[in-house]
Every structure is written in structure tokens, then in C-alpha cells.
Amino acid sequence: MPTRSFWVWLHRYAGLAMAGFLIVVGLTGSVLAFREEIDAWLNPELLTVAKRDAPLLDPLTLREKAAALHPGALIDSVPLRSEADRAVAFTHAPGVGHFMSAYVQFYLDPYTGAFLGERPLWSGPTLARRDIVSFLYRLHFSLSLPWSTGSLGGYILGVTALMWTIDCFVSFYLTLPLARGKGGEARANRKPWLQRWKPAWLIKWNAGFYRVNFDIHRAFGLWTWAMLFVFAWSSVAFNLSEVYRPVMGLAFDMRSASDELPALDTPLERPALSWSDALARGRALMAETAARRGFRVLREESLDLDREHGVYLMSVHSSWDVSREGATILAFDANTGAFKGQRGIGSEGVGQTITLWLVWLHMAQVFGLPMKIFVCVMGLVIAALSVTGVYLWWKKRKARLHHAAFSAPKAAAVRKRLSENSSL
């Protein structure tokens, strides 16, 4: 069985390998907890409108105006929820199979359909005011590497997240007090186990700089351990599904309604159901499903066309949903209107339900403003743990080199004396 010194070594060098990446994702994640508010503050001319004493346009009317702005482009999502002081966002793509960098998001006035402006859906490495939140988002989940490199950035962060997940358990173990009977100090210490563990949860602010950093590193990790694990394991789900799904499948039912939708041989170009017919069909199916399953539709969110699977997706926020985003979704055939399945709480396997919760917690989509503040603070904690970890390693390395520099002449002198004595 590996010794404690092995786990110390593993924690030290895994932390060094992860530190740079975790500082980036921690700081960007802290900002992105308030991404919507920050984006609206930076770009009010795009995202906000003045409230008026006038009716909002019908969502499909807005889609027609959006389609007229970009003839021939694919506009496959219709927002069904409009707010009196917010612009309505549409996304268009030049065709099926393009990189996300080719997608453009543009904004319409919900009262008149007037064009307010546009920007790339996912920006490149730019700090332009319109693109900064998008850039930070890409930096957070893919290191903002070019799309031409595929998922390299996401894969790097996925491997980092897997190391982080394992290290969560290693670091927790290292905070535990030594078992009695192992080492002179442990034998001499007869305090109860919990009392010996208590210092690991505390910070001695009046101690030296090194000790304060050590205490911050250890105590912050303990107090926030559960959320650190949520961030780590959910990041594996985002970026390394080839590991996440098999591991979760060992303990939980990972069944998902999405898995039951077969992909078409070629993406659907012209669905038989028009957008108006699809909206009417989606509403009817949602009402039938709500009555049968026992939930209430609180508000409609969006209607999307999934060309890869040949279905429309009707998304609503229901009484089952704890996320602030719509999470109850119905799929129905884009040609016949036949019901194809339901997604969301109550419709997925246990493993998928756990995954939904991991995503919601990671992205601060539950519990309102307190959760956003908590996630923002957690991003700073993650960065602080990485910085203090690197500092502790550097100080210990410096001490070891200093000790070796002074010990080498002494060792040489001892060897010389032994050599002289043996020659007598």
C-alpha cells in the first residue's frame, strides 16, 4: 500500500501540473458567474432596450424579421420568452457542419424587430468590449484555442479536471491526523482524533507568512471540499465524457432521452412542419405531457430545430425544474409531429439527473443570486489554492537547495576524514 509520503509527492506534483490551468479557470469562472449582468453592462446597446407601453412582437414574427436580415442562413432556434427591457437574440450559421466560430449572434428590438447589432457567437482572442465575455467563456472551457485545433483545449482541461478530481481525495486524506502508534509525535499525542484534526480547519493569522499560506491552502480546501469536487467532476463531464460516462455508469443509470434519438444519414434541410405548425404541435404535446406526468408549465423558453436528428425541441421551465433555465424539453418529429421523447428531471436515469445537478451547480443556474455569489467566490478560492500551493512548493524547494548547499561541504569533510583514518 502506498505510504503517506507517496501521496504527499503525488499531491505536490499534480498540483504543480494543474496550477496554471486552475488559476485561469478559477479567475475566469469567478467573472462568468455574473456573465449575463456583465455582458449587459458592457454592451447595453446590444442587449437592452427601453421599456415601452406597447405589446411585444410574437416570437415567430421576430424570427421572420431575423430571417429577412440573413437570407439563406440557418436560423434554427426561436426564443419564446421575451423581456420588456431586453433585446431578443438570434443565431445564424452559414450551413450545417461549420465551426462555431462561423456562427453569428444578432439582436432585435422585441417591440419593433429593429436590428440592434451583431457579433460572433464565440469570439477569438480579443478584449473588444462586445467580445470580452465570449472570449472569457472560451478561455474558461477551451483555453480559447483556435477552432481548427478541434477540441484540444477542452481535452487538456478535461485531463486536468480528472487529475483534480483524484487530487480532491488525496488532499482530503492528507489533512487527516496521523494514526496513533505511527511516529513518535503520534504516540506522544493522546488527544482525541477530532481534536487533532481541528487545526487543519483553522488559520493562524498571527503566524509567519509561510504558515499562514499553509493554513489557507489546507483550511480553504477543507471548508470548500464538496464544491471543489463538484467543479472538478463536472468539468470531467464537460470535457472528458469518454471517462465520465463509463465511470458514472458503474454506479448509476445513465439512460438519457437524447440517446434514443437516432441520427439521420444526412441532416434535415426542409422539415415538413413549418415553424408555426411546430410551435402549435409543441405546445399541444407539452400540455398533454404535463397533464399525464403531473407538472405545470411556468413559461416557454425556446423552440429549436435539430437537423442532425430530424426533430423539433420544445423547451419550457416547468414546476419540476429547479434550474433558472428551461430544463423540461420535448422532442417531436420535424416532419410528422410524432412524439419522440422527453428530457429533464423525472425523465432521465439517476446518473443523468446527478449530471444535471452538477451542471447547474457549476454554472450557478440554481438558488438565484446567493449561488452566483458563492460560485464567484469559489473561483477566487480555486485560484488561491493554486497560488498558495505553488508558493509552498517553492519555499520547500528553496529550503532543500539551501540545506543541500550547506550540507555538501560537511559531507565532503566527513568523507575525507574517514578516508584518512582508513589509510592509517
Residue-wise pLDDT tens digits, 218-267? 999 999 999 999 999 999 999 999 999 999 999 998 877 666 788 899 99
Confidence of residue 20 (pLDDT cuts 50, 70, 90): very high
The whole-number average pLDDT for the span 280-304 is: 93
Confidence of residue 419 (pLDDT cuts 50, 70, 90): low
Q: How far apart are the C-alpha atoms of 166 and 358, rounded to whole Å?
A: 17
C-alpha dihedral over 169, 171, 175, 181, to 10 degrees? 70
Confidence of residue 377 (pLDDT cuts 50, 70, 90): very high
The three cell numbers of residue 422 are 582508513
The whole-number average pLDDT for the span 125-153 is: 82
**What's the confidence (pLDDT) of residue 347?**
67
pLDDT at 108 over 90: yes
pLDDT at 68 over 70: yes
Confidence of residue 157 (pLDDT cuts 50, 70, 90): very high
Confidence of residue 321 (pLDDT cuts 50, 70, 90): confident
**What's the confidence (pLDDT) of residue 89?**
94
Name the CATH topology of 258-348. Nuclear Transport Factor 2; Chain: A, (3.10.450)
Domain boundaries, the chain: 44-128, 258-348
- pLDDT tens column, 38-66: 999 999 999 999 999 999 999 999 999 99
Residue 135 near residue 123 (C-beta atoms within 8 A): yes
The three cell numbers of residue 214 are 499553509
DSSP label at residue 365: -
Confidence of residue 178 (pLDDT cuts 50, 70, 90): confident
- Helix 152-175, helix 132-142: angle, nearest 10: 60
The whole-number average pLDDT for the span 364-375 is: 94
**What's the confidence (pLDDT) of residue 228?**
98
pLDDT at 127 over 80: no
Within 8 A by CB and 6+ apart from 42, the residues are: 129, 130, 132, 133
Beta-bridge mates of residue 332:
312, 339
**What's the confidence (pLDDT) of residue 398?**
85
Query: For the whole model, what pTM was predicted?
Result: 0.86
pLDDT at 182 over 70: no
pLDDT at 15 over 90: yes
**What's the confidence (pLDDT) of residue 424?**
46
pLDDT at 100 over 70: no
Phi, psi of 299 (to 5 degrees): -165, 150
- pLDDT tens column, 271-286: 999 999 999 999 999 9
